[in-house]
Amino acid sequence: MMEWDPEDFVDQQSCSDFTTTMVHTYRAEIQRSYNWRNRLDTTTNWAIVLLSAVITWTFTAPANPQELIIFSLFFIVVLLGIEARRYLYYNVWNSRVRALEADFIARTIDPELSVTSREWMKALAEDLQYPHFKIPYWHAVANRLRRIYVYLFSITYLMWLGKLYMHPDPATDISQIITRAEFFTIPGNIILAFVTAFVFVSIVIAVKNPHYEEDWDVVFKSKEAMEYWRDNM
């Protein structure tokens, strides 16, 4: 039995029919990508609003507990988990958009590109028939950490240390800060060590995990490209 060839299928259709199909497919994937992009932004907004409200209220009065900042840190972790899952879905639709842009639209504009219909059409057809996540969950977590959450964690950590230092009165030595960090029966040095380790690990995850899934969204800033557009457009 002969293997199906997508180029043979295209040859049996008119150019306008095939182009119409690809255009509608592209529009559909753009809409999906846009919807999941909005969901990512919504989760990020929740995290920023939560952190802003907690920090503002905590620093309003010296008597307001510093533990609330630590609790907000764990809520932000939950939002990170939700956003990482949403990014997995966004990455599925966005990868299709980039495939169509790079292999169909760009090739239509410049037929001399080396990408053949056989390559990209097979990959796209398989992905449409059997959708699957393109990256592991932890790579999605690392992506969201790099983009926003590692900064939120760092700000939370610094604000927490600032609260320990400033309230109820400015601390005169490190022992006072450690004492103020106590939570119920848990010693302050353990709390400080745990939170510091958590922020450090989040930074390591953000830096060390692969960045390959972000290559689709790279906007190149070469001097040659800018000069070309300035001189020819």
Find where tokens 């966005």 sit: 94
- Asked if residue 182 is part of any domain, the answer here is yes
Separation in Å, CA 172 to CA 64, 165, 166, 178, 179: 20, 8, 10, 12, 12
* Phi–psi pair at 186, nearest 5 degrees: -85, 125
Give the number of domains in the chain.
1
Domain that holds residue 43: 6-212
- Asked if residue 228 is part of any domain, the answer here is no
Q: Are 66 and 58 in contact (CB under 8 A)?
A: yes
Separation in Å, CA 20 to CA 14, 26, 27: 10, 10, 11
Segment 93-117, tens digit of pLDDT? 888 888 888 778 877 777 676 655 5
| HEC letters along 189-213 | HHHHHHHHHHHHHHHHHHHHCCCHH
Query: Rounded distance, CA 40 to CA 82, Å?
Result: 9
- Asked if residue 231 is part of any domain, the answer here is no
pLDDT at 5 over 90: no
Higher pLDDT, 221 or 158: 158
- Asked if residue 218 is part of any domain, the answer here is no
